[in-house]
A = this chain, B = another copy of it.
Amino acid sequence: MTQLFLEDFTVGQTFGSNRLTVDEADIIRFAREFDPQPSHLDPETARDTFFQGLAASGWHTAALTMRLLVEGEFAPAGGIIGAGFEELTWPRPVRPGDELRVVTEVLEVRPSRSRPEQGMIKLRTTTLNQNGEPVQRSVGNLVVMARPADRP
């Protein structure tokens, strides 16, 4: 996969990803370690919660989104270095058996005045389930390396 430098990004570019399926055991295992709440731990007790059935932790959805991003078409030189998010929402829960994919769009490209060897890009990343419904939306800023003078 070609690694992309700051100069290779343009506003409106989009990048896709592989797909991965989340099963009930994955949801429960993540929840036991990081988000031990009834809606994420057990299908029975989850029925009486806000989610009305087992749902993945939002942080599990976020972590799976990162994996899809790292393995997907979006491959900045130096790796995916998140500077932070301006928006992160989970419009609907991820359920057992859902198949996820990620679409990323470049919103801004900003060279750095003080550090010419790098810059920032702003991205909108949307995680979709098998029905094309968004399960996570984010707008975040990444640090991206500028193309070195000796790499035309």
Number of identical protomers: 2
Q: How far is the CA of A34 from the CA of B36 in the complex (A)?
A: 19
**Which residues from 84 to 122 on chain A have a C-beta closer than 8 Å to any C-beta of chain B?**
84-90
Does residue A57 face the partner (Cβ distance < 8 Å to B)? yes
Q: A66-B35, A67-B34, A83-B89 are in contact. Are A78 and B49 (CB under 8 A)?
A: yes
A positions within 8 Å CB-CB of B: 30, 33-39, 49-50, 57-60, 62-64, 66-67, 70-71, 78-90, 143
A79–B36 touching, CB < 8 Å? no
A78: chain B residues at CB < 8 Å are 49-50
A90–B79 touching, CB < 8 Å? no
Q: How far is the CA of A41 from the CA of B81 in the complex (A)?
A: 14
Q: How far is the CA of A143 from the CA of B34 in the complex (A)?
A: 20
B85–A63 touching, CB < 8 Å? no
A87: chain B residues at CB < 8 Å are 84-86
Distance of A107 from chain B, by nearest CB (Å): 17
